[in-house]
Each structure stands twice: as structure tokens, then as C-alpha cells.
Amino acid sequence: MFIRYFTLNTVRRVKLKIALICLFILLIKTTAYAQEKLTSSFPEAYNNLKTDTARMRFLVKAVNDSLDEDRLTFVYDWAKKGLTMAEKNNVDTMKGIFNFFIGKAFTYKYGKPDSAIVYYKKVIPYFPDRNRKYNIFSMREIMERYSESGNKDSSFVYLDSLKVFIDTMPESSPKRVSLSQNIATVYQWFGMFKTAVNYFQVAINGQRKNGNLKGLGLALANLGELYSESEDDVKALEYSKEALSYLADVNMPYMQTAVNISTYYTNLKQFDSAFLYFKKADSMAIKLNDNQETIVLQSVLGNIYLGQKKYNLAKPLLEKNIVALIENGDRWNLTKTYFSLASLDSTLNNYSEAKEKLLKALKIANEDKQEVLVTIALQNLAIISSKLKDYKGAFDYQNQFLQKKDSLTNEKTKANLADMEISYKTQQKEEKIQLLEKENDIKNLQLSNSKRSKIVYIATLSFAIALFSIFYYQRNQRNKIEIKRIKAELQTKVLRLQMNPHFIFNSLNSIENFIMQNEKRLASDYLNKFARLIRLILDSSRYEVVPIAKDMEALQLYIDLEQLRFNNKFSYKTYVDPALAGGDYRVPSLLIQPYIENAIVHGLAHSDEKNLNLTVSTVLENDKIKYVIQDNGIGRTKAKEYNWQNKPYHESIGLKITEDRINIFNQKPEGNGFVKIIDLYDENKNPDGTKVEIIIKAV
């Protein structure tokens, strides 16, 4: 039995050894096959190289070529292989480069910005010299990835480092130009448009000096989009059209810029030009066989037809495009197309269909956190619900709209404050540079004099500067305190003037009358305008100056309300100089409202004549803004007689406060003929109204 047992165990051991040997051979073959399959993605030239150094250099060039040509298939595999060799051979520069390539793969192929940031951060220690391109490029990528994820604080850490770095470069340096454009895009992302414009201008000036037409075109196109986001389609057109002339050989940017120009023209209701640039974009889309852009272009064309009131062409085109956008997953353009269809349905009085489309748009916008589009949808739903006589729904949507609008306004205010802070820091930096230059001049003068002369000169100069500085500082502080006091008093008086109790009570009485007369539409219209005017007054009261377009909107609401209150007894016209409307001009809020009130209440309201009218015009004359308010009412003489008989103890302070505001704003407290009141007469020398001319500085 012992011999048999020994023999059986020996046989088993031999069989086990044979099985292990076979398994080992199979494993070697499998590994070799896997290795062969892995290296099959590498070019043949790579496999023929003998050393790791040569192979790493080969991979660096291959990855760079792939990135330049937007071929990302093998970037990650090649970069990982290169990193393995760099770690094996302990080559720090190659470790940094391949980590950078892996970050690129995560950014542009896999869409994983968090992973990309991890690898970009690994690059920087291998390139401590900030002049090395991989240090700069990694910091730029980290900045952009953080901004895309909405992490402003982290993004600005790297942005500020890049700003300090490029400040030392010449204006025409390609690195300065490229990084300025990247920095501008980040500022634009966070709504800091003023600072973004400054950096886009740096990029544009640098590209012009370098003769880089493609880069110049891209920078101009980006600046055009920024002005569009700022709701300035005129400037957006100016820069985008110039950009297009430099992008003729760059297909995709050319097409996208042409689409933008078509959209800007549509917003400005210049439909022939919009259609011309639509055709340019459409031709390029056909050339590129780009289905995505073709779908977007159909929405652009539908909006052109909609603006031209060609509803029979617009509706089927937009409805067909809705289906294509749903299939394509382009939710941003899908939402905007729903808006276009809702607008069309509303125009055709199909309010139920319009509300249905707006609700779909609101659902998508909420899901995708498109706050601007959510705000637009809520505002339109409030209007449509009112048209459907769903006043409770209109009230709810209006409340939601106002909450969203306030939230967006707060974000915009924060961005504006950040813009101002950066401008202030830039000014401080320039002042420090000027101060350093002056100190260098003083040192040079000191070197040319004897030691005693230097001491005497410096002591005398320092003493004089100290005395002058103390005197100037004290006087400046006194002036500032006095101006602040006057402005504070004026602002309080102005707010009281603009929130005139008589006007508020008259408005509420008018609303009550409409309700009592069952004029629901008029009551709703009056109440809506009254609420908008009060909100504008309260919003504007926080600022010394407001955009002229916003101020004219408030004035027009006020005149609308007075026109309704006086049963459309008079007509009115307003005119704003295109130079003012197209520029970023700002004026004190409701500055001319007391003069308009006088024209209506004292001039037009007491007249029994027909064809009463009021005109308000605003024009730009050199560096001044000129207002003209004219009515054909009873004139000042008869108005005084009426007031003496009916309101003998009434004392008007509105015009006095307004004159003080004008003088303070023009920085001439004593006045200088900024307000001119002219009595008008007809051909028979009878009073024929009043004309008021007001001049303020343009800012």
C-alpha cells in the first residue's frame, strides 16, 4: 500500500508540474499578444526606436500633432505610456509634459474637468520657471476649467497669477496676447464685462501689431459676443463684421460669426441684412456638412420670418425645428425656439398654445439651470396669463419673475462692483508706477549735486510736499464731506419728489375708477405700468446715475400713466438721439420729470383746445446732452392765474430741487444757464405753450 500511495502522489506531482508549465507558456503568449495589441496603436516608426529617450521625444511630437489637428483618440494612451517611461527613467521635464497631455485628454476627450485639474496641477512643480510654456499653459487650463464649473474663487487665484505675469511682457508678445484673450473670456463668463472688454482690447491690439489675422478675427468675434451679452447689438455688429473679414479661411468660426451677425441684425429689425448673413452661414454649413449648425440655422431663419411677420413661413419652420432640436439634444436652442413659437402664437392671439410652449421652455430652463431663460419665461407667462384672464396665475408668475430678476440683478451688481474694484486697483498700480518714476527722477537729480545740496534739497522738498499734501488732503476731505452732504440731502428730496403722494393717490384713484367702471383691461394695464414705474424709481434711487435708456423708459411710463389719467386728452412723442441710444451714456434718474409734470398738469390739463401734444427729445451735442420738453398748453401766465385762484397757498419746490441737481451734476453749484424756459406764442401773439431746454454734461 505504501508503494502504491507513493507512486500515485508522484504521478500527480508530475502532472501538476506539466500543467503549470503549460499555463506559464500560455500566459507568456497572452502577455505578448496583449503587448502587441497595445503597441498596435503606436505608429510603426515608434516601434523601431531603440531607447526610451527617443521614444518619449517621439510621443511628445505625436501628441502635439494630434492636439493641433483635434485628433484625440490615442492621446491618453500615448501620454500614459510616455509618463511610465519618464517615471522609470526619472526625467522630470518629461513627467511634467506627459501629465499635461493627460490633463488635455481628460479635458477635451473625456469631458472630466476635475480629473484634468488634478493632472494640470502636477505639471507646475516640474516647471518652477514661470516663463516655461507648460507652467503658463497649465495655469491657464486650471483657470478655465474652474471657471467652466462656476468656481470663481479658485479660477481667480490662477487668473490673478497670470495677470501679474503678463504685465511684465511687451504688448506684442504672443504669450501676452493669447493669455489676455483667455483672461477676458473668464471675466466674461462671470459677467464682469467692463474688465473683459479691456483684456479683449489688449488681445486685439497685440494681434494687429503681430499681423496675426486669424487670431485678430477670433478676438474681435469674441468681443462682439460680449457686447451682445451686454445687450448692445450695435457694437456687437461693429466688431463681428470686422472679425468676419479676417475669418474667411477659418470655416467653423466664420460660420458661427455669420450666424451671430444675422441674429444681431434680426434684433435690430434690419431683416434684409439678417437674411444676407444667414445665407453666408448656410453656405458654409453646407460646405462643412455640419448637421448641428444646419438645425440652429433653421431657428435663425424662423426668427427672421417672425420679425418680418411672415407667420405662414415662420411657424412650420420653427415647429419642424423643434423636433430636430429634441432629437439632437440641443436644449439651449430648443428653449429659445419655444420662445419664438410662443411669441408667434401670442401675436396670432393663440394664447393657450403660447402658454403651453412657454411652460415647456420653463421646464427645460429650470432643469438646466438657465437662469436668464427662466426669467424670460416667467415674464412672458405673466403676460400671457393676463391675456387669458387668469389673473391669479399672472400674479404668481409676476412675483416669481421679480424674484428671479432681483437675483440676477444682484449677481450683475456684484460683477459691476468687481469691475470697479479691478479698475481701482489698476489705477493704484499706475499711480505707484508714476510715483516710482518721480522718485527715480529725484534720485538722478540728487546724484548731480553735492551731498550737502542733496540734503538741503530733499529736506526742503519733503517739507513742501508734506505741507502741500496736508493742505490738499484737508481741503479735499472738506469738499468731499460737503458734496456728500449736499448729495444726500438732494437724494432724499429727489426720492420724495419722485414718490409724490399726489401722483400716487391720483394713480390709485384712476385704477379704482377703471375697476368701478368694469374696465378690467385698462385697470390691469394701468396697474402694471404703475408697478413698473414705482420699481424703476426705487431701483434708480440707489444710484447717482442710470443708463439713459432705463431713464427714458421710466419717463415714458410716467407719461403713459398721466395720459391714461387725463383720458387721452393729449398725445405725446419722445425722441432719443441714436448716438445716445447706441452709447453707454448715463444721466441722473428722472431729472426732467418735474418739467414734464409741469407741462402736463399746468399746461395741457387746463386747456380746452383740441390736438394737444407733448414732445420730449434728447440729443447729443458735442460733449453735452440736451433735453427739450415742449407743449402747446395754456402757457405759464394763464397757469399762474389758475393756480393763484385755486391753490393760493401751494408752493412748488420740485423745480428748485431739480435745478440744484442739474448744477451739482454739472459741477457748477452756482449754475450757468443750464435751464432755459421759453414762452411760446402763435401768430396772433396768443400764448401757445411752453418750451424747456435743459443741458447737462455727457457721461
Q: Return the ∠ at Cα 665 (arms to 660 and 669), rounded to 5°.
A: 50
User: What is the spatial distance between Cα 471 and Cα 60, in angstroms, rounded to a whole number?
Assistant: 65
Q: What is the pLDDT of residue 652?
A: 61
Q: In 3D, which of 537, 551, 637 has the Cα closest to residue 592?
A: 551
Helices (H) and strands (E) in the chain, counts: 28, 7
Q: In 3D, which of 698, 564, 518, 511 has the Cα closest to residue 621?
A: 698
Q: In 3D, which of 281, 217, 282 has the Cα closest to residue 250?
A: 217
Whether 223 shows a pLDDT value over 80: the answer reads: yes
Burial of 685 (0-12, 13-18, 19+ CB in 10 A): exposed
Whether 84 shows a pLDDT value over 90: the answer reads: yes
- pLDDT range class, residue 100, cuts 50, 70, 90: very high
Q: What is the pLDDT of residue 39?
A: 40
**To which residue does cell 485628433 refer?**
71
**To which residue does cell 497669477 refer?**
161
Looking at per-residue pLDDT, the higher value among 28 and 358 belongs to 358
Give whole-number Cα distances, 516 to 511, 519, 521, 522, in Å: 9, 8, 12, 11
- pLDDT range class, residue 491, cuts 50, 70, 90: low
pLDDT in tens, 271-322: 899 889 989 888 888 887 877 777 778 888 888 888 888 889 888 988 888 8
Whether 523 shows a pLDDT value over 60: the answer reads: yes
CB 149 within 8 A of CB 111: no
Q: What is the pLDDT of residue 359?
A: 92
CB 208 within 8 A of CB 220: no
Give whole-number Cα distances, 100 to 109, 120, 133, in Å: 14, 6, 11
User: What is the spatial distance between Cα 469 and Cα 435, in angstroms, rounded to a whole number?
Assistant: 14
Looking at per-residue pLDDT, the higher value among 433 and 408 belongs to 408
- Give the distance from CA 320 to its chain's centroid: 31
Pairing assessment for the beta strands 612-621 and 570-576 based on DSSP bridges: parallel
Q: Which residues share a beta bridge with 587?
A: 546
Q: What is the pLDDT of residue 79?
A: 93
SS (H, E, C) 105-122: HHHHCCCCHHHHHHHHHH
User: What is the spatial distance between Cα 318 and Cα 300, in angstroms, rounded to a whole number?
Assistant: 9
**To which residue does cell 493669455 refer?**
179
Q: In 3D, which of 336, 436, 349, 340 has the Cα closest to residue 387?
A: 349
Q: What is the pLDDT of residue 23?
A: 41
Q: In 3D, which of 634, 600, 616 has the Cα closest to residue 693?
A: 616
Phi, psi of 695 (to 5 degrees): -125, 130
Give whole-number Cα distances, 165 to 139, 158, 180, 667, in Å: 11, 11, 11, 40
Whether 510 shows a pLDDT value over 50: the answer reads: yes
Give whole-number Cα distances, 391 to 394, 395, 507, 610, in Å: 5, 6, 20, 37
Q: What is the pLDDT of residue 216?
A: 86
Q: For residue 545, give the 3-state DSSP assignment.
A: coil
What grid cell was written down for 470?
A: 496736508
Whether 1 shows a pLDDT value over 50: the answer reads: no
What grid cell was written down for 189?
A: 463668463
Q: Which amino acid is at 352?
A: S
pLDDT in tens, 556-600: 988 988 888 888 889 999 999 888 887 788 898 888 888 998 899
CB count in 10 Å sphere of residue 95? 20
Give me the sheet containing 687-697, strands edge to edge.
570-576, 612-621, 624-631, 687-697, 675-681
The most confident of the ranges 335-344, 405-414, 637-646 is 335-344
Looking at per-residue pLDDT, the higher value among 371 and 92 belongs to 92
CB 600 within 8 A of CB 614: yes
Q: What is the pLDDT of residue 393?
A: 84
CB 613 within 8 A of CB 570: yes
Q: For residue 530, give the 3-state DSSP assignment.
A: helix
Give whole-number Cα distances, 124 to 94, 117, 129, 187, in Å: 12, 11, 9, 23
Q: What is the pLDDT of residue 12?
A: 40
User: What is the spatial distance between Cα 482 and Cα 474, in angstroms, rounded to a whole number?
Assistant: 12
User: What is the spatial distance between Cα 141 and Cα 154, in angstroms, rounded to a whole number?
Assistant: 12
Whether 120 shows a pLDDT value over 90: the answer reads: yes
Whether 486 shows a pLDDT value over 50: the answer reads: yes
Q: What is the pLDDT of residue 630?
A: 95
pLDDT in tens, 527-566: 888 888 888 887 777 777 888 888 888 899 889 888 888 8
- pLDDT range class, residue 9, cuts 50, 70, 90: very low
The most confident of the ranges 63-67, 300-304, 667-671, 689-693 is 689-693
CB 697 within 8 A of CB 663: no
User: What is the spatial distance between Cα 123 and Cα 547, in angstroms, rounded to a whole number?
Assistant: 47
Phi-psi region of 191 (alpha: psi -120 to 50; beta: other; left: phi over 0): left
CB 73 within 8 A of CB 63: no
User: What is the spatial distance between Cα 604 and Cα 598, in angstroms, rounded to a whole number?
Assistant: 9
If you average pLDDT over residues 116-143, what whole number do you get? 89
